Structure 1
């Protein structure tokens, strides 16, 4: 750029700055301060949103019907023992801790926020209070008393899988078949297939109702195909555990897959 063009550009920039200054001077001081405050507030809100998004979630929710063994699993994770977990809890067990199996490790380990949500039907809405920060959901199923409760378990699981927060955030779900140490326990493959069949029935029955009659936030599955968990937008896996004996390896693997140590 030659000297003449550079000089013209400087003149134009100075004219622009003068006009901008004159325009600002015409704005009442109150309005100008309000505009500046609005800009600053918007900037701060965007900064907070970005910080929240960057923060890694560390909450794992234990859900499922009453009596499935969630509280035993909670204490196994925290204390390495099933003590206090033999009674059905009516209030959420909510604590942040390093998994008991990792306490002997010398390196710094990230603690996990575990919430054991009571399975009673009137208390299940408490799940919604923690979903926004959930890194994963563990849906616990009693592998021994599965068949008598398959309908109720399927309805509860259906409600979770159709929640907007779960779908939009693609929160991973672990179907944990508990009490597998019992001889009469059903296998995880059997439980998975039965849950898929029941959810397919629920899906068919609910689609016949008007949108005003149902509370599902999202639909499940692929139209025209039998439902399977592989069709869910969020990852759904199936595993086994024994809260009574402390065999919870697959549960801990799920937790550490989504809450890095």
Structure 2
């Protein structure tokens, strides 16, 4: 572009600027302020939407006692394999993928980030690393070996339910009774009632501690009433599954309720 063309362009831009100033000067102040307000509000609205979308989490945590079947469920969600056998991992199984049951669907679906948190008591603090990004927690219970482990499961679940970040963010929790294909498996209603009874005992004993010992915990339930999961500030639901037979529809339904496809 030569010098003469540049000068013509500058002249044309100056003309447009002058015309715009004259046009704005003809608009009554009230209308001008209203237009500016609408523009600012619209810009702010779209900014909030973009920030909200960026903060929409797609991480789902599988946790529970060792041997409850978390790793089998992880592989069923990822690739439909049973991955039989129980191996205590020192590190979480972690992956971002489209749920195996949704791979054949033609419509676009959102991948899910699933973390299988080790169930060993010394490795449970790893759960805290993922809670800030969590859209939901699946607490897996072995429906066959439930009674021998009810106390340990209740203590672990109590610790999760009273974590400040879980309560403040109201992270939804699914109590997933696994291995229900076995004839000796307990029903989900029985498991729920037993967990509520054990947590009620824990609540009574732990609230008797000094406030210094429970400074990082929230109190569960309603004072003077027996504990029930319905009293929790975050939503707690209960469902059944069988990892070895790929009966995980209720698990997938929970995931898709909080990680939109």
For the aligned pair, the TM-score class normalised by the smaller chain equals 0.7 to 0.9
TM alignment of 1:88-127, pairs within 5 A: 88-127=88-127
Once the 2 structures are TM-superposed, how far is the Cα of residue 213 of structure 1 from its aligned partner? 2.7
CA shift for structure 1 position 57: 0.6
Indicate how the Cα distance of structure 1 residues 97 and 53 shifts in structure 2: closer, same or farther if over 3 A, else same: closer
Question: Hey, what's the Cα distance between the residues in 1 that align with 2:51 and 2:208?
Answer: 43
Moved more, 51-60 or 251-260: 51-60
Matched, 1:221 2:221: yes
Q: Where in structure 2 are the equivalents of 1:1-40 lying within 5 Å?
A: none
- The number of aligned residues is 215
In the alignment, what sits opposite 2:38? none
| Stretch deviating more after TM superposition (103-112 or 86-95) | 86-95
Tell me what 1:17 maps to.
none
Structure 2, unaligned stretches of length 5 or more?
1-46
Q: Map 1:25-174 to 2 at 5 A.
A: 51=51, 54-83=54-83, 86-174=86-174
Q: Is the 8 A contact 1:74 1:114 kept in 2?
A: yes
Specify the SS of the correspondent of 1:202.
helix
Structure 2 CA distance, aligned partners of 1:86 and 1:104?
Answer: 29
Specify the alignment match of 1:196 in structure 2.
196
Greater CA drift, 53-62 or 175-184: 53-62
Cα distance change, pair 132–68 in 1 and its aligned pair in 2 (3 A): same
- TM-score using structure 1 length: 0.79
| Residues 167 and 87 of structure 1: CA distance in aligned 2, closer, same or farther (over 3 Å) | same
- Give the Cα–Cα distance (whole angstroms) in 2 for the partners of residues 68 and 215 of structure 1: 30
Native 8 Å contact 1:71 1:89 kept in 2: no
1:83, distance to aligned residue in structure 2 (A): 1.8
Query: In structure 2, how many angstroms separate the alpha carbons of the residues matched to 1:128 and 1:86?
Result: 23
Cα offset for 1:106?
A: 1.5
- Unpaired runs of at least 5, structure 1: 1-46
Q: Which runs of 4+ in 1 moved over 6 A?
A: none
Across the aligned residues of Structure 1 and Structure 2, the Cα RMSD in angstroms comes to: 1.8
Question: 1:172 touches 1:236 (CA, 8 Å); kept in 2?
Answer: yes
Provide the C-alpha distance between the structure 2 equivalents of 1:98 and 1:80, rounded to a whole number of angstroms: 11
CA gap 1:53/1:168 in 2 versus in 1, 3 angstroms? farther
In 2, are the aligned partners of 1:75 and 1:85 still within 8 Å (CA)?
A: no
Residue aligned with 1:176, SS: strand
